[in-house]
Amino acid sequence: MSTGIAADLSPATWTGRIDGDTAEHLRWHQAVRPFAPDADESGCVLIGFASDEGVRRNQGRTGAASGPDALRAALASMALSAPIYIEDAGTVSVTDGDLEAGQQRLGRAVAAALDVGRLPVVLGGGHEVAFGTYLGVSAAELRERRPRLGILNLDAHFDLRADPIPSSGTPFRQILAAEAVAGTSCRYDVLGISRTSNTTALFDAAHHLNVRYLLDDQCGFADHAAVDAFVTALLDAVDLLYLTIDLDVLPAAVAPGVSAPAAYGVALEIVQRVCDRVTASGKLAAVDIAELNPALDIDNRTARTAARLIDRIVIGHRSPHESV
């Protein structure tokens, strides 16, 4: 069993508003502590992935490498509705253009968190974070006991490009290729696809790879039942789930601080509803947040929205370790 997490950057000291030291006054910064693999606790461990190398390779607007710090800052003074065990393991940083090595380091960190019973919450970073998170989930001991893996991507894009050089546009094609080589079972579903942001070639690739998806305009306020059925079908078909949230799935007015803001997007109400269902399922093994670009954000809207989703996922989480 691997228990250590070797981050490139140690976690900074968390600070924020203090109203008191008792449980009814608790905020995130008062609950976070360094990662301690030997602690007899269950909860979540935050792992930063400071990278926009994949976005650069995909010809997007760079700046997502600053995402982990902005997410931590947005979380810091948020009130906690219940006392939970939160750890910060620091940040894996891609500073030399070697994205692949960074994804391998992230994978080892995610596997280490899972192997001691924690929920890894990965703070990206471009959506190249997805391949690193997947490497960790696939290497964890939990995967051996729960082999049928599902991936739910909340995203305006398929990220199934067949480019020879990996980028933020290729991670799920890489994942499906790795699963095919290993002969293991993986289902990949996407909620929030924008028809105008994906070429016919990408829709063809999705069909060829048996990717199930809902378009953004199929995820409106009147579509709760269809969205619920989509998520339930995935949960029923898998033993273990990895949730990845690309913030460009949200409307640009809610999430302006991303590489490719959505012209339409999926309402926060729907995204939040999906997160609630997934984290309460007892099958969620890992989650990551991708594409926050603080330099493009307005009034920290994107960071605050992402922090709200993280808080709900962590508070409502039912660990898959409990029912293995």
- Angle between helix 301-316 and helix 268-279 axes, rounded to 10 deg: 30
Low-confidence ranges of the chain (pLDDT < 50): 1-2
pLDDT of residue 2: 46
DSSP 8-state secondary structure symbol assigned to residue 118: -
Residues 6+ apart with CB under 8 A from 226: 214, 218, 219
Domain with residues 23-323, CATH architecture: 3-Layer(aba) Sandwich (3.40)
For the stretch 241-250, pLDDT in tens is 999 999 999 9
Q: What is the reported pLDDT for 22? A: 87
Reference 216, options 272, 154, 168, 170; nearest CA is 154
- pLDDT in the model for residue 77: 95
Q: Are 125 and 68 in contact (CB under 8 A)?
A: yes
pLDDT, residue 281, reads 98
Q: What is the phi-psi region of residue 291: left when phi exceeds 0, alpha when psi lies from -120 to 50, beta otherwise? A: left
Domain range annotation of the chain = 23-323
**In this structure, what are the phi and psi dihedrals at residue 268, rounded to the nearest 5 degrees?**
-55, -35
Residue pair 2/112 in contact (Cβ under 8 Å)? The answer is yes
pTM score, whole prediction = 0.97
